[in-house]
Amino acid sequence: MGRLFAYMANDPDRVRCAMHPARKLLRVSAEPGVSFDSWGVGFYQGEVLLQRRPKAPVDPVDFYDLAKELRTDCIIGHVRSGTVGQPKNENTHPFRYRQWLFAHTGTVEAFTTLRGRLSDSLPQFLQRDVRGDTDSELLFHLFLSFLHDAGQLDRPAVDAQSARTALRSSIALVDRLCAEEGAGPSAMNILVSCPEYLLAVHGGAKMAYRSVHGRHDLERIFGDGGLGRMRIPDHAASRLTLVASDFEDDQIPEGWTAVRERAIVTFTRADEPVLENV
């Protein structure tokens, strides 16, 4: 268990505007019987930057406070309630490889048995890059290995279709190996991004998104005075999107769009979200 969060927009100066209405949703407190052991935020500012804290937070994790001053158009955040691997930097999400960011909640079924087989399926240079001991990091490198097999990994820009295909192949391989061990499909939510787009996979706890596009949407949300004092400029061309999963009460927030089970959603800065089957 844990929490996933992502943000994508076509304007790097709108992080505060987009996140403020969802501030309560993006504040993560430990539930009875559940403890968090680390949190992390990854974002783009010309390069990929990470802020990771591999220690149990004393206070609730407030993604709004963590991100509101960032100047970026893409963020992935994660709070970890670890099921595999001890809390340390190498096990803290998001994971990064070149231009890619990756975060995941849920657990690969039968991972103790499958760890060696998953690792052996990677090319050696990706095996050497795995520094932690989580199922999440191996799943990320499995995605990278399918990009490599398709001749895409070394390209500075990878089209979204190729990335979706690699992600589907990764999930299909994990499900097949789990089935061979007598286990069912793994319940997992995944976020993966590059500078051009964000992919979200729903296969575990509830996932939803909210996209705000243009003056009408922004006035509808901010027009009651709540953020009016922030002097929001003309937003006629603005598109702001938040994605989250693993909600504390397991309820989709009002005004958000639920992602259907076993679906993959592609978010870009300019287009409406595209939903497809995994």
Q: Which amino acid is at 157?
A: A
pLDDT value for 236: 64
Strands 61-62 and 27-28, by their bridges, are antiparallel
The pLDDT profile of the chain, 278 residues, written as one tens digit per residue, is: 578 999 999 989 889 888 988 898 898 876 655 667 889 999 999 899 999 998 877 788 999 999 999 999 999 999 987 666 666 788 999 999 999 999 999 988 889 899 999 999 999 999 999 999 899 999 999 999 999 999 999 999 999 999 999 999 999 999 999 999 998 888 999 999 999 999 999 999 999 999 887 666 666 665 544 444 444 555 667 789 999 998 877 889 888 999 999 999 999 998 999 999 99
> What CA–CA distance (Å, rounded) separates 226 from 220?
11
Number of domains in the chain: 1
| Number of Cβ within a 10 Å radius of residue 179 | 13
The structure's pTM equals 0.92
Cβ-in-10-Å burial (0-12, 13-18, 19+) of 162 comes to middle
pLDDT value for 227: 44
Residue 218 sits in a domain whose CATH number is 3.60.20.10
User: 199-221: string of b/e by CB count within 10 Å (b at 16+)?
Assistant: bbbbbbbbbbbbbbbeeebbeeb
> What CA–CA distance (Å, rounded) separates 37 from 79?
8
By residue range, what is the domain housing residue 87?
A: 2-277
pLDDT value for 225: 45
pLDDT value for 3: 86
pLDDT value for 43: 98
pLDDT value for 65: 94
pLDDT value for 29: 79
